């Protein structure tokens, strides 16, 4: 039997207390904020026994919850992950943690709670992602705040006084770059418009040399596309153990067949102090009947890599003549775009590379 008083109308009951939304808090004036601060502090003290600093303290606590536990920066809404206990890491920091663990032959752990981190089970938190989309974003040059990231892009490209621009005489060789607000004063003081004709001619000849240098990759591409035969493979790399007589940090592909011969691609990880480099080497497993002039190119396969990884390996073509006495191409450093490219490569669940081979008779 119910103990409720039948004379009480449920419609007359007071509504349940609700926390203020961030958007509501941000739109209040200062006096209202103080009232909300007092109310929230008293209610939090009753429930949790804690005393806070009001709205500003609430914002600070929310900020501390949403920042990456490694770099302490607020991540992009589409660019973060969480450990099994919910601690937030931006993608760059996550890949760095995974890669460094591989370099050091240790387990990758969350820096906050030490829970195990694996690349294949990293997920996003929907609530955190939606909250990050609601947060205002600041311009890195002038600290103006924007609620829409598209507005920030337009601001950075056309409006911001702190955006970096080149001198308008850069075609003559002026290398000045600086904030847009300083460009007018620099242009008036730039010495390049006052140069004599002979000096300008020398500058233009130097510019022409640089353009010819920039065309070399196109000429290389034309050369390899004129090859007699072209093969490409997506290679799955695996670690080779020390007991096999190789360098202890060596990755090797499965054996592939191209141009009626068998080949293997090897990568060697080398660490000198804080610097880590990766070198690649193409090896011929069989003895060829004739000499083979082969160009090869290593890329990231788009089918298995993230959007950030598409250009992590800079295009570079290597040539070697393989014969019975020269079955190993020269070991060359892999042209990675930077440290993050190195981390993303070794943080892959399965390290895979695209190998192009071009045979010239």
E strands, the chain, in order: 80-82, 88-90, 137-138, 145-146, 164-166, 177-179, 229-240, 250-253, 256-258, 261-272, 275-284, 292-299, 317-322, 332-333, 352-360
Q: Are 224 and 295 in contact (CB under 8 A)?
A: yes
Helices (H) and strands (E) in the chain, counts: 10, 15
Our CA dihedral for 152, 154, 155, 159, rounded to 10 degrees, sits at: 180
pLDDT of residue 104: 84
What would the two tokens of residue 190 be? 């730039």
What would the two tokens of residue 130 be? 């939606």
Instruction: Return d(Cα 111, Cα 74) in angstroms, integer.
Output: 16
If we measure between CA atoms, which residue out of 229, 218, 221 comes closest to residue 358? 229
Q: Are 22 and 136 in contact (CB under 8 A)?
A: no
What would the two tokens of residue 105 be? 């032959």
How many CB atoms are located within 10 Å of the residue 37 CB? 19
Write out the residue limits of the CATH 3.30.40.10 domain(s) in the chain: 22-138
pTM (2 d.p.): 0.64
If we measure between CA atoms, which residue out of 288, 280, 282 comes closest to residue 325? 288
Q: Are 234 and 354 in contact (CB under 8 A)?
A: yes
List 229's β-bridge partners, or say none: 359
Q: For the chain, percent helix, then strand, then coil, each to nearest 5? A: 35, 25, 40
CB < 8 Å & 24+ apart, contacts of 92-97: 92/340, 92/343, 93/68, 94/122, 94/347, 95/340, 95/343, 95/344, 95/347, 96/70, 96/340, 96/343, 96/347, 97/70
If we measure between CA atoms, which residue out of 322, 313, 268 comes closest to residue 295? 322
CATH number of 22-138: 3.30.40.10
Burial class (CB in 10 A: 0-12, 13-18, 19+), 93: buried
pLDDT by position in tens, the chain (length 361): 444 444 444 445 444 444 444 444 444 444 544 543 444 444 444 444 444 455 567 667 777 788 888 888 888 888 888 888 888 888 889 888 998 888 888 889 998 899 988 877 777 777 788 777 777 777 777 877 776 667 777 887 788 888 888 888 887 778 888 888 888 888 888 888 888 888 878 888 888 888 888 787 777 777 777 888 999 999 999 988 655 555 568 999 999 999 999 999 999 988 887 788 899 999 999 999 899 999 999 999 988 887 788 889 998 889 999 999 999 999 999 999 988 999 999 988 889 999 999 999 7
Q: Say yes or no: domain 227-360 is CATH 3.30.465.10.
A: no
Burial class (CB in 10 A: 0-12, 13-18, 19+), 84: middle
Give the distance, in angstroms, between the CA of residue 150 and the centroid of all CA atoms in the same chain.
20
DSSP string, 45-63: HHHH------HHHHHHHHH
E strands, 98-144, in order: 137-138
Q: Are 79 and 69 in contact (CB under 8 A)?
A: no
CB < 8 Å & 24+ apart, contacts of 104-113: 110/69, 110/83, 110/84, 110/85, 111/69, 111/70, 112/69, 112/83, 112/85, 112/87, 113/83, 113/85, 113/87
């Amino acid at each position: 039997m119910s103990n409720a008083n039948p004379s009480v109308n449920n419609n007359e009951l007071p509504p349940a207390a609700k926390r203020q939304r961030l958007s509501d808090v941000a739109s209040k004036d200062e006096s209202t904020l103080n009232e909300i601060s007092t109310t929230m502090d008293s209610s939090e003290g009753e429930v949790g026994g804690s005393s806070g600093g009001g709205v500003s303290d609430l914002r600070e606590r929310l900020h501390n919850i949403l920042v990456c536990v490694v770099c302490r920066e607020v991540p992009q809404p589409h660019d973060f992950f969480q450990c099994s206990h919910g601690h937030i890491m931006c993608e760059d920091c996550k890949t760095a943690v995974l890669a460094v663990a591989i370099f050091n032959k240790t387990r990758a752990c969350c820096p906050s709670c030490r829970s195990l981190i694996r690349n294949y089970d990293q997920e996003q938190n929907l609530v955190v992602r939606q909250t990050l989309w609601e947060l205002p974003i600041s311009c890195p040059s002038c600290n103006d705040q924007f609620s829409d990231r598209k507005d920030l892009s337009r601001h950075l490209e056309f409006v911001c006084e702190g955006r970096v621009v080149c001198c308008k005489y850069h075609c003559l060789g002026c290398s000045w770059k600086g904030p847009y607000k300083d460009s007018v004063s620099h242009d008036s003081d730039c010495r390049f418009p006052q140069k004599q004709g002979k000096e300008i001619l020398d500058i233009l000849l130097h510019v022409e040399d640089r353009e010819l240098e920039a065309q070399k990759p196109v000429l290389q591409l034309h050369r390899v596309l004129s090859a007699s035969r072209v093969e490409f493979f997506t290679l799955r790399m695996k670690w080779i153990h020390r007991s096999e007589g190789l360098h202890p940090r060596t990755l090797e592909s499965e054996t592939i067949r191209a141009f009626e011969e068998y080949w293997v691609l090897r990568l060697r990880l080398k660490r000198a102090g804080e610097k880590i480099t990766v070198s690649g080497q193409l090896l011929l497993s069989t003895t060829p009947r004739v000499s083979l002039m082969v160009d090869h190119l290593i890329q990231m396969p788009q089918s298995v890599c993230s959007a950030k990884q598409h250009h992590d390996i800079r295009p570079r073509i290597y040539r070697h003549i393989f014969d019975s006495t020269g079955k190993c191409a020269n070991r060359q450093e892999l042209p990675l775009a930077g440290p993050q490219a190195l981390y993303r490569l070794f943080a892959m669940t399965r390290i895979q590379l695209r190998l192009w081979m071009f045979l010239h008779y």
